[in-house]
Amino acid sequence: MKITNLGTSTQASFYVATALYKQMLHKKESKLGLATGGTMLDMYESLVTLLDKNQLDVSQVETFNLDEYIGLTAEHPASYHQYMNHILFDQYEGFDPLKCHLPNGAAEDPECEAARYESLLDERGPVDIQILGIGQNGHIGFNEPGTPFDSVTHCVDLTESTIEANSRYFDDKADVPKQAISMGLRSIMKAKRIILLAFGEQKKEAITQLATGNITPDVPATILHLHPNVEVYVDDAAMPDLS
Ligand code: PGA
């Protein structure tokens, strides 16, 4: 696994947006594994610019998001459905809503919904590129420390640190959902190519853990060492001191 410092988050975001753009350019029916979170905002903005300038046909592209909060409807402003609409699907015309998948956080039976989502991934996958952020505690998706490496899409109890980190998207910390449906670590590892992005001082410790090469469920992202095709892009602030 190569960790590459691309200097600024703007440069890294543009680089990764270009990778997604090229993937869709070369394969009309590309399958993309998408992530949400603050880290991804510039990347999607750059992607929309590239799509716009080149008027790429994305009608055959199929997308699969990593996760969704349990208890939020797709219309809730803090749901990941709304995040994706706002940042990508409403920004560039042509994505087919029927091909843009996220777990349904408002499903009556979340366990059943998790199983449905995993079956969908199995039927329609594997994804060509999976984009990932990383939590300060090393989580990927909502796979918190201790998540088994063989986990598939499942319901997750969010850790206090994740609830705290995500409270910035809610009016009140008490409104942050305590659970989510997340692709599991095994689901993520099925992707053909994985690109992880991490920016800022607050991600440096997690990237340092990743850089040690140790593989442990205590730092879920370290499972990526077992995947043959992973790229990690960081900015100056998130780059570990390797000396
Ligand atoms: P962030 O979240 O991009 O908002 O920091 C990343 C993550 O928790 O995976």
Which domains occur in the chain, in start order? 2-51+58-199 (3.40.50.1360)
Cα(103)–Cα(153) distance, integer angstroms:
9
Select which of 5, 65, 104, 137 is catalytic.
137
Protein residue with its CA nearest to atom 2 in ligand 1:
37
Query: Model pTM?
Result: 0.96
Cα(192)–Cα(128) distance, integer angstroms:
5
In ligand 1, which atom is closest to the CA atom of 162?
8
The pLDDT tens digits for 84-107 are 999 999 999 999 999 999 999 999
The pLDDT tens digits for 4-57 are 999 999 999 999 999 999 999 999 999 999 999 999 999 999 999 999 999 999
Q: Which of 134, 199, 235 to mutate to test the pocket of ligand 1 (most atoms within 8 A of CB)?
A: 134
Cα(114)–Cα(183) distance, integer angstroms:
8
Helix (H) or strand (E) holding 31: strand 31-34
Q: How far is the CA of 90 from the centre of ligand 1 (A)?
A: 22
The pLDDT tens digits for 127-168 are 999 999 999 999 999 999 999 999 999 999 998 988 998 898
Does the structure show a pLDDT above 90 at 169?
no
Grade residue 243 by pLDDT with cuts at 50, 70 and 90: low
